[in-house]
Amino acid sequence: MSLPVLRAEEKNFTVVIDAGHGGKDSGAKGRTIYEKAINLSVAIKLGNLIAENQDRVKVIYTRKTDRFIGLDERANIANHNKADLFISIHANAIKNASHISGTETFTLGLANSKENQEVAKRENSAILLEDNYLQKYEGFDPNSTESYIIFEFMQNTHMEQSINLASRIQKAFKGTKRNDRGVKQAGLLVLRKTSMPSVLVELGFLTNSEEERFMKSADGQNKLAKAIYDAFVAYKHEYDKRQNVAATPARKVTSPPKDSPTKAPASTTASAAPKTTTTTQAKKNVLLYKIQILTSEKKLPANSKQFKGYKNVSFYEENGLYKYTYGESTDLTTIKATHKKIQKDFKGAFIIAFKDGKRVRQNSK
Ligand SMILES: [Zn+2]
């Protein structure tokens, strides 16, 4: 019996799986195995799980063999393929602390602890093996703390989604009985130029003999790959829902009122700091759409370069992050048109909805 072929179900999502290091770059060294080998095995196991179970997802690897590849080149592969997600896979090491173990997942940001900074230094040192790394990375010295200042002023359009995936991965790792070291930020060069949500996973410590054994074993690698896969599926599910929000007309908006002037009076003065959404501008029970353009750990000044000259940028606070939005309308068609226009400046911007001044999530728990 043959099943009908559903040609219409084309791939709608591309994930790039990046096995860290390779070739002349071994990465961290365990007693019996190199980091590069573990990274590659887990990357391929993860890719196979996705390819076998997710019809609509295209999997691209930065490497499938033991070969050297630069950090920027990895990001370029993702960018050229217009990937929707970038997952870099690594294993950790720490000097003179063989008792330390556990998983951690990084998103791009400024390291807020010496420990995180050390991970960035170690992982970024891979560029020292690249030809012309001084020109390629504009004089970036992976071992100098001063070099990392560039990460403080980095635009972080995808921070929210990156952290979302990172949290899901850490949650899924708990099933592998690893110590949960949490979601962290650090100035990781491999994530710097990716123009999509991106994370770097540290599977465990090669300097801990028990973890080395686990990560070297097929069973351990299968469990780690499955955990990342489960997190990916949950993330993708949420992604699909969000796409549907933007693609289907808002049924909830019954007879939208005549558009009241959409600009908040307070935000028309360019010199004033962006204002939070006030409930007065949102009519009761009507969805007010906005476009989220970027997320920041710190409050940004109204004239911040990150706004790229856009005026009337607003923000709301959520989970300790400042989330900046542009435009607002109760009419989805209007906001979609604005969304289309600003995408050239804010790749990854997406439409969100507020009701009674509160953000509405389609997948509210
Ligand atoms: Zn690594």
Q: What is the pLDDT of residues 183-234, one digit of tens each?
A: 999 999 999 999 999 999 999 999 999 999 999 999 999 999 999 999 999 9
What is the residue-wise DSSP string for 114-138?
Answer: HHHHHHHHHHHGGGGGSTTHHHHTT
Is residue 313 scored above 80 in pLDDT? yes
DSSP-derived secondary structure letter, 219:
H
Alpha carbon of 149 to ligand 1 centroid (Å): 21
Longest dimension (CA), the chain: 70
**CATH number for the domain that contains residue 193:** 3.40.630.40
Alpha carbon of 96 to ligand 1 centroid (Å): 18
Is 319 in the same domain as 356? yes
Number of independent structural domains in the chain:
2
Note whether 354 and 282 are within 8 A (CB): yes
- At 12, which amino acid appears? N
Alpha carbon of 200 to ligand 1 centroid (Å): 9
Q: Which residue has the tokens 């009241």?
A: 260
Is 190 in the same domain as 279? no
Alpha carbon of 360 to ligand 1 centroid (Å): 38
User: What mean pLDDT comes out for the span 262-288?
Assistant: 47
Position 176 in a domain? yes
Is 108 in the same domain as 164? yes
Alpha carbon of 49 to ligand 1 centroid (Å): 22
Position 6 in a domain? no
User: What mean pLDDT comes out for the span 49-65?
Assistant: 97
Is 164 in the same domain as 17? yes
**Gyration radius of the chain's alpha carbons:** 22
Q: Examine the fold and report which residue of 223, 243, 263 is the final residue of a domain before the chain moves on.
A: 243
Alpha carbon of 123 to ligand 1 centroid (Å): 5
- At 247, which amino acid appears? A
Q: Examine the fold and report which residue of 200, 220, 243 is the final residue of a domain before the chain moves on.
A: 243
Alpha carbon of 321 to ligand 1 centroid (Å): 28
Is residue 61 scored above 70 in pLDDT? yes
pLDDT in tens, 25-37: 999 999 999 999 9
Position 4 in a domain? no
Q: What is the mean pLDDT of the chain?
A: 85
Position 130 in a domain? yes
Is residue 253 scored above 90 in pLDDT? no
Position 147 in a domain? yes
Alpha carbon of 56 to ligand 1 centroid (Å): 29
Alpha carbon of 106 to ligand 1 centroid (Å): 12
Alpha carbon of 27 to ligand 1 centroid (Å): 5
Alpha carbon of 78 to ligand 1 centroid (Å): 18
pLDDT in tens, 63-76: 999 999 999 999 99
Is 117 in the same domain as 165? yes
Give the whole-angstrom CA distance, residue 348 versus residue 42.
28
pTM of the model as a whole: 0.69
Alpha carbon of 233 to ligand 1 centroid (Å): 24
Is 21 in the same domain as 133? yes
Is 258 in the same domain as 237? no
Alpha carbon of 249 to ligand 1 centroid (Å): 45
Please tell me the predicted confidence (pLDDT) of residue 154: 67
Is 131 in the same domain as 187? yes
Position 8 in a domain? no
Alpha carbon of 102 to ligand 1 centroid (Å): 15
Please tell me the predicted confidence (pLDDT) of residue 284: 58
Alpha carbon of 43 to ligand 1 centroid (Å): 13
Query: What residues contact 254, with CB distance under 8 A and at least 6 apart?
Result: none
Confidence bin at 264 (pLDDT 50/70/90): very low
Please tell me the predicted confidence (pLDDT) of residue 9: 52
Is 177 in the same domain as 312? no
Is 256 in the same domain as 234? no
Token pair listed for 242? 């969000």
Is residue 258 scored above 50 in pLDDT? no
Alpha carbon of 289 to ligand 1 centroid (Å): 41
Q: Examine the fold and report which residue of 191, 219, 243 is the final residue of a domain before the chain moves on.
A: 243
Alpha carbon of 127 to ligand 1 centroid (Å): 12
The sheet carrying 13-19 orders its strands as: 57-61, 13-19, 85-92, 198-205, 103-108, 180-186
Give the whole-angstrom CA distance, residue 296 versus residue 63.
32
Query: What residues contact 348, with CB distance under 8 A and at least 6 apart?
Result: 157, 158, 161, 195, 196, 197
Position 34 in a domain? yes
Alpha carbon of 21 to ligand 1 centroid (Å): 6
- Domain of 352 in residue numbering reads as 249-360
Is 124 in the same domain as 28? yes
Give the whole-angstrom CA distance, residue 253 versus residue 272.
32
Position 302 in a domain? yes
Q: Which of 52-56, 64-68, 141-145, 243-247 has the lowest mean pLDDT?
A: 243-247
Is 32 in the same domain as 97? yes
